[in-house]
């Protein structure tokens, strides 16, 4: 799995520091297993379009849907205005 692109989402109701990350492959169970190691993962697989939320306390929240190629990153308003490099490196290391 590789990060293909990042895009700042302006005027998002969720927060001021919100980013979309485009991935090279669709999100599957392997991806959820790996990112679940970063924090508290909540997965709602009983819905028609399974979705998940990962909270890494004090750093960011990741939201997405299984089968999509993008995830949304919500950073604290006071954080640097970019996706953390360690998150991109971690996603890039997922095979």
pLDDT tens track for 56-66: 998 999 999 99
Provide the residue range defining the domain that includes 30: 3-92
Interatomic CA distance for residues 2 and 55, integer angstroms:
21
**Structural domain count, the chain:** 1
Q: What is the pLDDT along the chain (95 residues), one digit of tens a residue?
A: 999 999 998 877 777 889 999 999 999 989 999 999 999 999 887 777 889 999 999 899 999 999 999 999 999 988 888 888 999 999 999 87
62 touches 14 (CB < 8 A): no
């Amino acid at each position: 799995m590789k990060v293909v692109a990042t895009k700042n989402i302006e005027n998002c109701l969720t927060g001021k520091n919100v980013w979309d990350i485009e991935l090279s492959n669709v999100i599957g169970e392997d991806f959820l297993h790996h990112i679940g190691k970063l924090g508290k993962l909540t997965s709602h697989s009983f819905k028609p379009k399974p979705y998940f939320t990962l909270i890494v306390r004090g750093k960011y929240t990741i939201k997405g849907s299984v089968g999509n190629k993008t995830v949304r990153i919500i950073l604290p308003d006071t954080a640097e205005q970019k996706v953390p490099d360690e998150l991109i490196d971690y996603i890039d290391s997922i095979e």
